[in-house]
C-alpha cells in the first residue's frame, strides 16, 4: 500500500482545506443566485474586471459583465407577472486544486433543469464546469468559468402540469393548459 507523505505543515494543510471550502461556498452562492433570480449575487461571484467565460451556445465573454447581462435578460423575463424561465442548478463532485496562496482550479458536475413557461418546455442536462479562482479583495472569485454540456433533453411540459413559482409569496399557479388558450 502506497501512502503519500505530505510535506505540508499542519497549518498549510488547514489553510488549503479552508480555501477549498471557501471556493465551494462561492460556487454554491453562484448557483443559488442563478436559481434565486439574483443578478447582483450572480455578478459578485466573478472577478471585478476580466474573466474567461464560455457557456457554449449561451456565449463566450472576456469579462463577467457580458454573461451577467445575458443572465439579467433571460432570468428576469416576466410574462403576466410570472418569470418565463425557472432554473434549478444542482452542483456536485467538486474537485478543487489550490495552485498557490491566491489561485485555484476546479472542476464541477452540474445537473441542470429549466422550465420555459413561454415555450412550455422542460430542459434537463448534464454539464461539466472547468473553473479558475483568484483572491480578489480578500475573497475567492471566479476568474474562469467554462461550461460544457454533456447531454440535454428538451421535452414539452405536460398540458396538465401546474407550476407554482415561489411558495413564499401568494402567486397564481401557472397551468400550462391555460397558457395554451
Q: What would the pLDDT profile of 67-120 be if each residue is shown by its tens digit? A: 999 999 999 999 988 899 999 999 999 999 999 999 999 999 999 999 999 999
Q: What would the pLDDT profile of 43-76 be if each residue is shown by its tens digit? A: 999 999 999 999 999 999 999 999 999 999 999 9
pLDDT range class, residue 170, cuts 50, 70, 90: very low
How far is residue 153's CA from residue 86's CA, in Å, rounded to a whole number?
16
Q: What is the pLDDT of residue 165?
A: 83
Q: What is the pLDDT of residue 179?
A: 53
- Alpha-carbon distance values, 91 to 32, 56, 68, 127, 145 (Å): 10, 18, 19, 9, 14
Amino acid at each position: 500500500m502506497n501512502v503519500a507523505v505530505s510535506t505540508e505543515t499542519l497549518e498549510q494543510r488547514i489553510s488549503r482545506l479552508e480555501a477549498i471550502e471557501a471556493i465551494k461556498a462561492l460556487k454554491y452562492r453562484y448557483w443559488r443566485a442563478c436559481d434565486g433570480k439574483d443578478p447582483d449575487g450572480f455578478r459578485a461571484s466573478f472577478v471585478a474586471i476580466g474573466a474567461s467565460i464560455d457557456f457554449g451556445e449561451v456565449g463566450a465573454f472576456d469579462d463577467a459583465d457580458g454573461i451577467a447581462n445575458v443572465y439579467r435578460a433571460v432570468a428576469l423575463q416576466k410574462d403576466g407577472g410570472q418569470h418565463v424561465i425557472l432554473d434549478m442548478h444542482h452542483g456536485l463532485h467538486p474537485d478543487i486544486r489550490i495552485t498557490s496562496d491566491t489561485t485555484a482550479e476546479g472542476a464541477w458536475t452540474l445537473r441542470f433543469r429549466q422550465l420555459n413557461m413561454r415555450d412550455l418546455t422542460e430542459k434537463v442536462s448534464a454539464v461539466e464546469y472547468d473553473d479558475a479562482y483568484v483572491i480578489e479583495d480578500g475573497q475567492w472569485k471566479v476568474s474562469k468559468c467554462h461550461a460544457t454540456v454533456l447531454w440535454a433533453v428538451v421535452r414539452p411540459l405536460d398540458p396538465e402540469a401546474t407550476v407554482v413559482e415561489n411558495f413564499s409569496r401568494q402567486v397564481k399557479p401557472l397551468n400550462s393548459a391555460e397558457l395554451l388558450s
